[in-house]
Structure 1
Amino acid sequence: MVVLNKIYTRSGDDGTTALGNGDRVAKDAARVEAYGTVDELNAFVGVARLKSRKETDVALARIQNDLFDLGADLCRPDNDADQDAESPPLRMVQQQIDRLEQEIDIMTGQLEPLRSFILPGGKKLAARLHVCRTVARRAERLTVRLAEAETVNITAILYLNRLSDWFFVAARMANNGGKDDVLWVPGANR
């Protein structure tokens, strides 16, 4: 259980922060950039929820919880030699990806196939979900970059990849089942 009695500790005043295993690293370290962007994504999901209806809101609430799991995964090095058997690090699991894929398949089954790329926009919720999609892609890129230098749970990367797909399809659903998608017209302003 987490207990936060004091929000500021001054321990980060020197430009470092603690990872989940207690190691201190620079606040701009690749690992901190990755899980910090996941936190940013979670905040954008919270904004999207302001305009979501029940079924979408329930799914977004699950995603927010998953994003906290993902942040916990990323803030604890995967090769941590000090792993406690009684309190193992929280890691993303395949079941979380499977759920996203099932939801994507259900939503996609209700949409007409795309015949053009779409521009981010349309309804307010759709536009907010497109922002979530792009931040998820950035989090994915940063996590891939982290994985080039350090050991990372591959399931974390796969989750982010699938999550951005989920946001894309959910944005289409929010655009009146794709009817209000804003289509890209190549060269339209030449």
Structure 2
Amino acid sequence: MVRLDRITTRGGDAGLTSLGDGTRVRKDTLRIEAMGKVDEANAAIGLLRLVTARGESGSDLAAADAMLAAIQNDLFDLGADLCVPVGEAEEEGKALRVVPTQLLRLEEEIARLNAELPPLRSFVLPGGTEASAWAHHARTMARAAERATVALAAAEAINADAVRYLNRLSDHLFVLGRWLNGRGASEVLWKPGATR
């Protein structure tokens, strides 16, 4: 159980912070950068949910909001995963880790949403509906989190499902953005060279 009695502790005033295992590290390490990018992606999804939360029960917005609520929880799991370095003799269940069932849920949602969309004939420009624009913004933040987590994985051992989750998440947000554009009807397509 998480309990936060004080927010201002002054413990980070010297540029250090604590990981989940108690190790003190600089705030500009690859691990802290990856955790921060995951947090940024979660905040972007929170902005998207300001729109999806307006949906009436049974609407596309309400369906999207339910998916996004689960994703936000997953991203806190992912942050907790990254916060505790993988140990050589890691005990099963001791550290909270992203697991394959979380990826499978995303894949199933992607497939379900994508089945309702027309095939793409060009790249999609972020925009159309308000919800779609925010979904594309969240997608870019998920990609940034993925890049930071890949950099961390190149430097030290991490749960491989952390990178996989972020890769699926950006795909999910892309397809969701299309779906939130009237199932593709309102999306804005790139017209190569149109402004020459």
- The corresponding residue for 1:42 is 42
User: d(CA) in 1 for partners of 2:142 and 2:86?
Assistant: 21
Measured against aligned partners, the alpha-carbon deviations of 1:119-178 in whole angstroms (never above 9, x if no partner) come to 111111100000110110111011000001100110000000000000000000110111
Q: Any gaps of 5 or more consecutive residues in structure 2?
A: 53-60
| CA deviation after TM superposition for structure 1 residue 78, in Å | 1.1
Q: Trace 1:20-35 onto structure 2 (pairs within 5 A).
A: 20-35=20-35
- The corresponding residue for 2:151 is 145
Task: Give the fraction of aligned pairs with identical amino acids, expressed as a percent.
Answer: 54
- The corresponding residue for 1:66 is 74
- The corresponding residue for 1:123 is 129
Q: How many residues align?
A: 188
Q: Does 1:186 align with 2:192?
A: yes
SS in structure 1 of the partner of residue 157 of structure 2: coil
Q: Trace 1:1-190 onto structure 2 (pairs within 5 A).
A: 1-52=1-52, 53-79=61-87, 88-190=94-196
Contact 1:39–1:67, Cα closer than 8 Å, also in 2 = yes
Q: Any gaps of 5 or more consecutive residues in structure 1?
A: none
SS in structure 2 of the partner of residue 160 of structure 1: helix
Measured against aligned partners, the alpha-carbon deviations of 1:64-118 in whole angstroms (never above 9, x if no partner) come to 000000000011111266x577x60000000000000000000000000000001
Q: Which amino acid counterpart does residue 81 of structure 2 have in structure 1?
A: D
Q: Which amino acid counterpart does residue 9 of structure 1 have in structure 2?
A: T
- State the 4+ residue runs in structure 1 displaced beyond 3 angstroms: none
Q: TM-score, normalised by structure 1?
A: 0.96
Measured against aligned partners, the alpha-carbon deviations of 1:9-37 in whole angstroms (never above 9, x if no partner) come to 11100001101111011101000000111
1:11–1:80 distance in 2 versus 1, CA, 3 Å: farther
User: d(CA) in 2 for partners of 1:55 and 1:120?
Assistant: 21
Q: Which amino acid counterpart does residue 10 of structure 1 have in structure 2?
A: R
User: d(CA) in 1 for partners of 2:88 and 2:125?
Assistant: 42
SS in structure 1 of the partner of residue 95 of structure 2: coil
SS in structure 2 of the partner of residue 51 of structure 1: helix
